[in-house]
Amino acid sequence: MVMDRWLKTFPVPEESPAHHIKDLCIWIGGGRHGTPQKFCEYTQWFTNVEKMTLMGVPSYRVPLLGRLPQSATSLTINTDAATPLQLQHIMTQLPNLNNVLLSGSLLPVDRTALPGIGMALGGRFGGRLILRDGCAGEGVVNMLLEVPSGLHFTELQVQCTRKGLPSAVRLAAACSKTLVKLSHTITFDCKFHFFSQPGWFQYAKR
């Protein structure tokens, strides 16, 4: 495994070439193919990472991620079974976020047990936002809408079921002053209906 070889070659993290890495991908899965837990203790030394990708992300592994590189401006998460609160736990470690892609399955959660879930989030949130599958639901959307600095995305892509349409509309409205491109895919009985209209909000305001 690549990570095993890295740990063997660079046992002292501050003496490794981690500061040269711009794109870091961690698979937080189980079994021998997942990223070794010890490597997660080294992530803080990747001080110049721009793009951060987390694959798997089961809920019980989220607290074990360690300290993530705060330099990251782009975050991709593909979760197996996490909650909005656990996604927030990851995102709050990355104060410079601009581009965000969230996809995969989320565990059901009682909304009343998560007051102010998005209030701790920081970031510029002015690039591209992509939400797919379970991450396009009300829980994640509410988390993003509660960001104190507001949302300033210029591009929004949402893939959800018909049930998630109201949340997608709320999200688009929150970005209406900056949004340039909107893409929305709705699933009806395993069929995809695609809508894409660049500049829709500019046209609507005329």
Which element (helix H / strand E) includes 79? strand 74-82
**Residue 14's beta-bridge partner residues?**
none
Q: Whole-model pTM?
A: 0.80
Residue 39's nearest CA partner among 69, 59, 80 is 69
> How many residues are there in the chain?
206
What is the set of domains in the chain, with CATH numbers?
Answer: 2-204 (3.80.10)
pLDDT of residue 53: 93
Phi, then psi, of 19 in degrees rounded to 5: -70, -10
Q: What's the average model confidence in pLDDT over 70-92?
A: 89
Strand 191-196: give its sheet, edge to edge: 23-27, 51-58, 74-82, 99-106, 128-132, 155-161, 181-188, 191-196
Residue 158 binned pLDDT confidence (cut-offs 50, 70, 90): very high
Q: What's the average model confidence in pLDDT over 168-194?
A: 82
How far CA 165 is from CA of 75, 107, 142, 159, in Å, comes to 24, 19, 13, 9
CA triplet 46, 52, 56: central angle to 5 degrees?
120
pLDDT at residue 170 greater than cutoff 90? yes
Q: What's the average model confidence in pLDDT over 91-107?
A: 91
